């Protein structure tokens, strides 16, 4: 393997399993002397790569083996990974300690806020993260930030010029902050450590083999180290998938290019090509591709050699793809690469789960899903759970989405929103709150509070919730009173947090400490247990320790946004314990991994490859001129990840044609593979299984419900407001009165028409009963009612309502011959074999001694058409009860029936409408007929449905049944329309 050559450079082709080929080759070369193998050093990119290569050594050894030392030089905490190997304790000139990443983040946030005072702390923390990443790229690429002003040359837009000015201000102060701390940047420390070990090996070559394997990072310090390793007598550098067969002209097209001697501009490199970062690394090492030799070791997990050629052809630069037609068929063949294209992400996850499950049918067979789509990964794991398979997603999940993170965010949100119902209930129902023996009792209280808080939002704060529960008026009084005792035990637990949020801006340390203490009171120490809890505890410990370095004061309302930003960047990986033959990997975790079947999932544009994350600090041209990686380079890395995955023995490609919101576009990689191969082989059997596994075969939609309970158990009491419901939609009446089901109002709901109507009726009732219809008293009562309403609702509704009630005062004053006899009074009569009950809004004594029935409406009154059809006869039924003495203290014949609507008509708020007319105009009934017609219609309805045995048919007359709260219960969408064909 190149013994005696000047440089020892190798590449393992894409169709070979990298880790297994590497392990087998090293054992073949050094394994004859176990101690020689054990004394060797293998440099790898990440700790995940260490595990992959360790597993490969175990597979290749077939028994006991002393492994070489594996050192991850790509992880951020380089000294932690390498230990004394890179930074020995007896070094005469030790490298300074690196600044803590979170400490740097908070310092940069403080500098950003100082340079731009209007920036909120949460935004400053977010911008500091982007600033730190840009700074790290400058340090890794060993670029002097002072060059930025030279390349800008005053050609930037105002936005980018402002960002650049701010960037320079912050970077100008950052070295001073480091000097105060006596530390250096983590990226700078890594560069120094790598250069130090390179110098040591160059001056005193080690007496053991050194192998750098799978490293693709093109950082200059990495390149210098690999150049030294390649030149050692016992050294070797093994690249993953360098295309040694690519024509020289095509290789040169990738770039990077030197600046134009006249314009100084650089030609744009093909950073989206999967070989670009490898070419850049090779160039920086100062070697030629021709010096790289193929690592000629085969394994059982290898794909056919033709696969590498097909992958290289599929990924060639766009301007060369016109030559695809000239490529031989065997060089375009993608044997054992199949594809699945399904309709939805749910079907895609199902198909992947089936493929993983099928792999287990063959003894010893392994399978892995590789995808950047974490939602898809979760769905696949959930589908596999149906077979009792536990799959760990090695990419982990952000802390913000795990129980401890969601609890802490819910607590911060509840405080920021002054314990508004939605935020409060999300906190109180969280699975970590009151976990243990008292959980059931706690949940009962929380669920009762949920019911009590349905409807418009109460006043802000814990006191506002208590006042709402203690209110002696309104609906569900008994429920609210029942939960009041439980709430008075819970509120003190949250009171310290409310006081903190009410105190205004405060040091971040104090905010975090109170949030932590409140969370512990609610959840106990169990909050900080398990892997995710320990990650949350570690984050809070670091934040509280380093908070003094950040902005001096933080608004409590910004705390939730700060925590979400930081938690989203903390990946919590599950402990080992998933199925030994199945795995789910992210793109980074999948590097150097292999399996018998590799499933590459989520191959849609914007997912694989993902959209490049924007850099808010440096314009793309500035990045290019400085030599920083372009935003598109991640596409090239994604392409290389895909190419490595395609090198597995069997490959399954998957995509969904649409996502949750819209049709998707197939990944550019998918389209290239299809175009090259003339059409990917479809996994038709697997697609059929995906459709069949949950296919009920026969669809049997529900029929129109017509429950027909015996007459003896049917209601014998009915309010006038339910008569229309009984006639038009008997099933809705049945569900409401017999099943006693009612639709719950949403939590924190916008004030509905029903709520507004109730509020107005309450005001008008009190105005009549307590104020004697004093014209001066109505408007103050309306303002008092609106004082506790949501500000938005108050701003929108108050002007309209004030105009409407002023109209009521004027209207009453304009009718001196009438007087208000009574308001809001209940009554009932026995009629047609049942008890008919009702409550009128107002009854007036008319000038001729008859009664006037008045109904207040906040919306539009019923139409004449509905009245003629036998509906909307509520006023007539109230007149019937009044004429038969059903209302205490009221007697006489009803002759006037009016709706006083507060809605707008003719440019003004408020008008009177009536369903009757003395001359029978406009198709209306004459007043004397209204009560008899209403009585007759009610008699027919009562005899059919209440004392008779007519079925309660759903939506019998849908044109007069606008209610929809029982549509789902009656499964309306399954039968409505079919019945009418």
pLDDT at 79 over 60: no
Those residues with Cβ within 8 angstroms of residue 134's Cβ, 6 or more apart along the chain or in another chain: 167, 615, 617, 618, 628
* Model confidence pLDDT, tens digit, residues 400-450: 999 999 999 999 999 999 999 999 999 999 999 999 888 999 999 999 999
Those residues with Cβ within 8 angstroms of residue 965's Cβ, 6 or more apart along the chain or in another chain: 732, 742, 743
pLDDT at 90 over 80: no
Those residues with Cβ within 8 angstroms of residue 542's Cβ, 6 or more apart along the chain or in another chain: 100, 102
CA–CA separation, 324 and 313 (whole Å): 8
* Model confidence pLDDT, tens digit, residues 806-847: 999 999 989 889 999 999 999 999 999 999 999 999 999 998
- Return the higher-pLDDT residue of 701 and 230: 230
**Strand 851-857 versus strand 894-905 pairing type:** parallel
pLDDT at 734 over 50: yes
For the entire predicted model, the pTM comes to: 0.86
What is the rounded average pLDDT of the residues 65-73?
90
Whole-number average pLDDT of the chain? 90
pLDDT at 516 over 90: yes
Per-residue three-class SS string for 651-674 = EEEEEECECCCCECCECHHHHHHH
Q: In this structure, what token pair is assigned to residue 611?
A: 């959209």
Q: How many CB atoms lie within 10 A of CB 434?
A: 21
- Return the higher-pLDDT residue of 726 and 459: 726
* Model confidence pLDDT, tens digit, residues 929-951: 999 999 999 999 999 999 999 99
What is the rounded average pLDDT of the residues 554-565?
95
pLDDT at 76: 53
CB 877 within 8 A of CB 838: yes
pLDDT at 322 over 90: no
What is the rounded average pLDDT of the residues 698-724?
93
pLDDT at 85: 59
pLDDT at 474: 66
Confidence of residue 3 (pLDDT cuts 50, 70, 90): very low
* Cα 451–Cα 453–Cα 454 angle in degrees, nearest 5: 70
Phi and psi of 54, rounded to 5°? -60, -45
Phi and psi of 909, rounded to 5°? -95, 130
Those residues with Cβ within 8 angstroms of residue 305's Cβ, 6 or more apart along the chain or in another chain: 13, 15
CA–CA separation, 646 and 315 (whole Å): 12
Per-residue three-class SS string for 750-817 = CCCHHHHHHHHHHHHHHHHHHHCCCCCCHHHHHHHHHHCCCHHHHHHHHHHHHHHHHHHHHHHHCCCC
pLDDT at 356 over 60: yes
Give me the helices (H) in 46-185, please.
47-61, 78-82, 101-115, 121-140, 147-152, 158-181
CA–CA separation, 222 and 227 (whole Å): 9
pLDDT at 567: 96
Percent of the chain with pLDDT over 70: 96
Confidence of residue 981 (pLDDT cuts 50, 70, 90): very low
Q: In this structure, what token pair is assigned to residue 447?
A: 């669920």
CA distances 903 to 698, 853, 858, 913, 977, Å, are 51, 19, 6, 11, 34
Q: In this structure, what token pair is assigned to residue 737?
A: 């009165």
* Model confidence pLDDT, tens digit, residues 762-805: 888 888 888 888 888 888 888 888 876 667 777 878 888 899 88
* Model confidence pLDDT, tens digit, residues 661-689: 889 999 999 999 999 998 899 999 999 99
pLDDT at 153 over 60: no
CA–CA separation, 376 and 345 (whole Å): 7
What is the DSSP secondary-structure string of 414-470? HHHTTT-HHHHHHHHT-TTTT-STTHHHHHHHHHHHHHHTBBS---SHHHHHHHHHH
Half-sphere exposure of 79 (CA within 13 A, CB side): 17
pLDDT at 926 over 70: yes
pLDDT at 476 over 80: no
Any bridge partners for residue 402, and if so which? Answer: none
Containing 190, the helix (H) or strand (E) segment is helix 186-203
């Amino acid at each position: 393997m190149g013994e005696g050559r000047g440089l020892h450079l190798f590449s393992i082709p894409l169709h070979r399993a990298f880790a297994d080929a590497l392990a087998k080759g090293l054992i073949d070369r050094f394994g004859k002397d176990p101690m020689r193998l054990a004394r060797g050093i293998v440099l790898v990119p990440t700790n995940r790569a260490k595990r992959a290569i360790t597993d490969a050594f175990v597979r290749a050894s077939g028994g006991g083996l002393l492994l070489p030392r594996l050192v991850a030089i790509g992880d951020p905490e380089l000294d932690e990974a390498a230990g004394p190997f890179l930074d020995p304790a007896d070094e005469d000139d030790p490298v300074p300690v690196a600044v803590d990443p979170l400490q740097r983040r908070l310092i940069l946030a403080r500098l950003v806020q100082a340079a731009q005072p209007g920036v909120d702390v949460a935004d400053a923390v977010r911008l500091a993260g982007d600033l730190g990443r840009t700074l790290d790229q400058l340090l890794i690429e060993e670029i002097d930030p002072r060059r930025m002003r030279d390349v800008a040359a005053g050609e930037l837009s105002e936005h980018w010029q402002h960002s650049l000015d701010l960037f320079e201000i912050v970077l100008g102060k950052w070295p001073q902050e480091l000097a105060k701390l006596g530390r250096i940047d983590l990226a700078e420390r890594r560069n120094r450590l790598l250069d130090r070990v390179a110098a040591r090996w160059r001056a005193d070559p080690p007496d053991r083999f050194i192998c750098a394997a799978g490293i693709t990072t093109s950082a200059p310090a990495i390149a210098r180290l690999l150049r030294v390793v390649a030149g050692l007598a016992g050294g070797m550098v093994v690249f993953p998938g360098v295309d040694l067969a690519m024509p020289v002209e095509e290789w040169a097209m990738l770039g990077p290019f030197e600046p134009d001697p006249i314009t100084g501009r650089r030609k744009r490199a093909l950073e989206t090509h999967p070989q670009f970062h490898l070419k850049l690394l090779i160039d920086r090492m100062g070697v030629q591709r021709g010096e790289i030799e193929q690592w000629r070791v085969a394994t059982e997990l290898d794909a056919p050699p033709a696969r590498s050629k097909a992958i290289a052809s599929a990924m060639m630069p766009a301007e060369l793809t016109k030559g695809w037609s000239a490529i031989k068929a065997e060089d375009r063949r993608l044997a054992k690469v199949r594809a699945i294209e399904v309709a939805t992400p749910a079907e895609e996850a199902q198909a992947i789960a089936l493929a993983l499950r099928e792999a287990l049918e063959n003894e010893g067979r392994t399978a892995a899903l590789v995808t950047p789509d974490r939602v898809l990964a979760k769905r696949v794991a959930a589908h596999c759970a149906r077979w009792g398979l536990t799959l760990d997603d090695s990419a982990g999940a952000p802390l913000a989405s795990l129980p401890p993170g969601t609890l802490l965010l819910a607590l911060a949100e509840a405080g920021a929103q002054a314990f508004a119902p939605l935020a409060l209930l999300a906190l109180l129902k969280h699975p970590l709150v009151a976990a243990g023996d008292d959980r059931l009792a706690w949940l009962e209280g929380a669920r009762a509070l949920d019911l009590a808080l349905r409807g418009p939002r109460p006043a802000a704060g814990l006191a506002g919730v208590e006042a709402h529960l203690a209110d002696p008026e309104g609906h569900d009084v008994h429920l609210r009173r029942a939960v009041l005792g439980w709430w008075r035990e819970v509120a003190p637990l949250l009171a310290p947090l409310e006081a903190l949020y009410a105190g205004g801006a405060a040091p971040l340390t104090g905010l975090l400490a109170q949030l932590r203490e409140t969370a512990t009171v609610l959840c106990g120490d169990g909050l900080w247990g398990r892997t995710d809890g320990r990650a949350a505890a570690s984050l809070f410990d670091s934040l509280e320790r380093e908070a003094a370095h950040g902005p001096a004061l933080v608004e409590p309302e910004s705390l939730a946004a700060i925590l979400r930003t930081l938690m989203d960047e903390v990946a919590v990986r599950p402990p080992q314990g998933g199925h030994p033959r199945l795995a789910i990997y992210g793109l980074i975790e999948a590097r150097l991994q292999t399996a018998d079947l590799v499933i590459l999932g989520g191959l849609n544009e914007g997912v694989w490859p993902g959209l490049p994350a924007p850099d808010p600090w440096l314009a793309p041209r500035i990045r290019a001129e400085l030599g920083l990686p372009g935003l598109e380079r991640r596409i090239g890395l994604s392409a290389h990840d895909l190419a490595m995955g395609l090198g597995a023995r069997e490959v399954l490609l998957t995509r969904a044609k649409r996502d949750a919101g819209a049709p998707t576009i197939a990944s550019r990689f998918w389209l290239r593979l299809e175009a090259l191969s003339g059409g990917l082989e479809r996994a038709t059997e697997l697609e059929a299984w995906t459709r069949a596994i949950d296919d009920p075969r026969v669809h049997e939609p529900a029929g129109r419900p017509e429950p027909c309970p015996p007459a003896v158990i049917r209601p014998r009491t009915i309010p006038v407001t339910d008569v229309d419901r009984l006639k038009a939609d008997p099933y809705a009446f049945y569900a409401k009165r017999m099943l006693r089901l009612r639709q719950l109002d949403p939590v924190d709901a916008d004030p509905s028409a029903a709520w507004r109507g109730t509020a107005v009726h309450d005001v008008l009732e009190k105005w009549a009963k307590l104020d004697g219809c004093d014209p001066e008293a109505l408007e103050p009562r309306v303002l008092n009612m609106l004082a506790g309403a949501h500000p938005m609702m108050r701003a929108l509704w108050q002007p309209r309502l004030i105009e409407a009630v002023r109209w009521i005062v004027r209207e009453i004053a304009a009718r001196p011959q009438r007087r208000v006899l009574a308001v809001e009074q209940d009554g009932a009569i026995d009629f047609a074999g049942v008890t008919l009950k009702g409550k009128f809004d107002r009854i007036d004594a008319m000038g001729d001694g008859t009664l006037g029935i008045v109904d207040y409406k906040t919306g539009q009154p019923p139409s004449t058409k509905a009245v003629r059809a036998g509906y909307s006869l509520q006023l007539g039924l109230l007149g019937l009860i009044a004429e038969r003495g059903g209302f205490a203290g009221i007697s006489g014949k009803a002759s006037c029936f009016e709706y006083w609507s507060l809605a707008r008509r003719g440019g003004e708020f408020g008008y009177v409408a009536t369903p009757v007319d003395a001359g029978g105009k406009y198709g209306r009934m004459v007043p004397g007929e209204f009560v008899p017609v209403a009585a007759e219609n009610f008699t027919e309805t009562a005899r059919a449905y209440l004392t008779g045995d007519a079925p309660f048919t759903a939506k019998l007359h849908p044109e007069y049944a606008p209610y929809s709260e029982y549509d789902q219960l009656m499964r309306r969408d399954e039968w409505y329309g079919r019945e009418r064909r």
